[in-house]
Amino acid sequence: MLNDAQWEELIEAASEVLKSSYSPYSSYPVGAALLTESGKVYTGTNIENAVYPLSICAERVAAFKAVSDKALTFKAIAVVTKDGGFPCGACRQVLSEFGLDAEVLIADEKGNIIEQSTVSDLLPGAFGPSNLKNI
Ligand code: THU
């Protein structure tokens, strides 16, 4: 369980990276800050593209930054948007690969906490690495 100071740090980092969002098509900036087991924080923001499907969510940018730094176990993630929107299904799946028990905090741009949950609660019955053990 993260303490208040740790959550504040993550929300602050997510709010900061949200300012770098490249979202000219949706005008819906998203900021994510991911704490890994190593104690390091990786941030991500959504990056859109004129070829719409090539856009990527903030949570996956943060997750892929962490994994590319060999930080493979996620402890917590804070997601900040203007209205406190929840992570999409694709991001829930990617997060589950590296942290089914990771805590998730969803906040709006004013710092209001909209929801506190876990990846497993957000993605019940997740398909994961154990499903592929016998292949
Ligand atoms: N978006 C995220 O970054 N994370 C989510 O979990 C939901 C949606 C982004 C994608 C797109 O750039 C914009 O929000 C509107 O869908």
pLDDT at 60: 98
Tens digit of each residue's pLDDT (9 = 90 or more) over 28-86: 999 999 999 999 999 999 999 999 999 999 999 999 999 999 999 999 999 999 999 99
The pTM assigned to this predicted structure is: 0.96
Tens digit of each residue's pLDDT (9 = 90 or more) over 72-101: 999 999 999 999 999 999 999 999 999 999
Question: Per the residue annotation, which of 9, 37, 59, 103 is the catalytic one?
Answer: 59
Closest ligand 1 atom, residue 25 Cα = 12
48 is catalytic: no
Ligand 1, CB cutoff 6 Å, lining residues: 23, 26, 28, 30, 46, 48, 55, 57-59, 87-88, 91
Tens digit of each residue's pLDDT (9 = 90 or more) over 113-129: 999 999 999 999 999 99
User: Residue 40 CB: number of other CB atoms within 10 A?
Assistant: 12
Q: Is 50 exposed, middle or buried (0-12, 13-18, 19+ CB in 10 A)?
A: exposed
Residue of 90, 107, 99 whose CA lies nearest to 32: 107
